[in-house]
Amino acid sequence: MAKQLISLQVNGDTYEVAVEPHWTLLETVRDELRLTGSKEGCGTGDCGACTMMVGGRLITSCLMLAPEAEGSAVLTIEGLSRDGDLHPIQQAFIDSGGVQCGFCTPGMIMAAKALLDRNPSPTLAQVREGLEGNLCRCTGYTKIYEAVLAAAQRTS
């Protein structure tokens, strides 16, 4: 299949990348740009481990084709702590014990960021609603709720 050259803006950097039209944004970012923080846990949009923000919207990048992301700003977990300082959500996940195996963590943090971007002081019920697209098998979510609520307090 013929590759096509597309331009992706990821975490503020512009990349010219040759992709096959069926490549997903997730595999392009992981395999071509070698930003491997976003994970594949299912490939069918059910687990949320590949969650990124594209044009300010939360997406499961395993279901988006790479060419569809052209012209939009893509934010991955690697874009959250660019200057060496952890984002308050990242710090809260560590402090609250919201990280165990770490595989869902990048996607979970992106979902938390999208939630806090639109609602800086969520209730517990709103946190549960905001993270419903992201599966975690280790924590039972309790410490993730605590992390997101703590991050909301720190940022507001």
Partner 1 sequence: MEQETVTRQGYRTVGKPVPRIDGVGKVTGRTLYTDDMVLPRMLHAKVLGSLHAHARISSIDATAARNHPGVEAVVTAAELPPHKKDPSNRRQVIFAEGEVLFCGQPVAAVLAGDPHVAEEALALISVEYEELPAVLDPLAAMKEDSPLVRSPLGEVDRSEERGHVTVNVEQEEAKGKASNTSGQISFTRGDVEAGFGEADRVVEGSWRSAMVHQSYIELHSTIADYDVAGELSVWTSTQGPFQIRDALCQALDLPQTKVRVTPMEVGGGFGGKIYLTELMVAALAMIVRRPVKYIMSRKEDLQAATPSPQVVVQLKAGMKGDGTLTAIQARLIYDCGAFPGAPMLPGCLLLGGYYRCANLGIQGYEVMTNKVSVGALRAPGTYNATFAIESAIEMLAAELGLDPLEARLKNVVEEGDPLPSGQPYPRIGARQCLEAIGDSAIWKERSESRKRPHTGVGLALGGWLGGLQPSTATVQLNGDGTISVIVGAADITGTNTSFAQIAAEELNVPLSMVNAATGDTKTAPYAGISAGSKTTFIVGRAVKAAAEQAREQILAIAANPLEAAPEELEMADGVVRVKGNEEKSLTFARIGTMSTAFAARYAPVMGTGTVAASKQAPGFTVQTAEVEVDPETGIVTVLRYAIAQDVGFAINPLSVAGQMQGGASQGLGVALSEEMQYDEKGRLLNPNLLDYRLPTTQDLPPIEAIIVEVPSEDGPYGARIVGEPSIVAGPAAVANAVADAIGTRVHEVPITPERVLRALGKW
- Interaction pattern, residues 23-62, with partner 1; x per rule: CB under 8 A: -------x----xxxxxxxxxx-xx-x-------------
Determine, following the binding rule CB under 8 A, whether residue 138 of this chain makes contact with partner 1: yes
CB of 146 to partner 1, least distance (A): 8
User: Which amino acid, one-letter code, is at 71?
Assistant: G
Residue 129 binds to partner 1 (criterion: CB under 8 A): yes
In the Cβ-directed half-sphere of 139, how many Cα atoms lie within 13 Å?
23
Could you say whether residue 155 binds partner 1 (CB under 8 A)?
Answer: no
Contact region for partner 1 (CB under 8 A) — 2-10, 53-61, 71-79?
Answer: 71-79
* Ramachandran assignment for 64, one of left (phi > 0), alpha (psi -120 to 50 degrees), beta (any other): beta
Number of residues counted as binding partner 1 (CB under 8 A)? 56
Rounded to a whole number of angstroms, the minimum distance from the CB of residue 37 to partner 1 is 2
Render the chain in DSSP notation, one character per residue: ---EEEEEEETTEEEEEEE-TT-BHHHIIIIIS----S--S-SSSSS-TTEEEETTEEEETTSSBGGGGTTSEEE-GGGSSTTSSPPHHHHHHHHTT--SS-SSHHHHHHHHHHHHHH-SS--HHHHHHHTTT---SSSTTHHHHHHHHHHHHHH-
Interface positions, 73-92, toward partner 1 (CB under 8 A): 76-78, 80-81, 86, 90-91
* Choice between 36 and 71, CB closer to partner 1: 36
Please report whether residue 66 would count as binding partner 1 according to CB under 8 A. no
Can you give the binding site for partner 1, defined by CB under 8 A? 20, 22, 30, 35-44, 46-47, 49, 76-78, 80-81, 86, 90-91, 93-95, 97, 99-106, 109, 124, 127-129, 131-132, 134-146
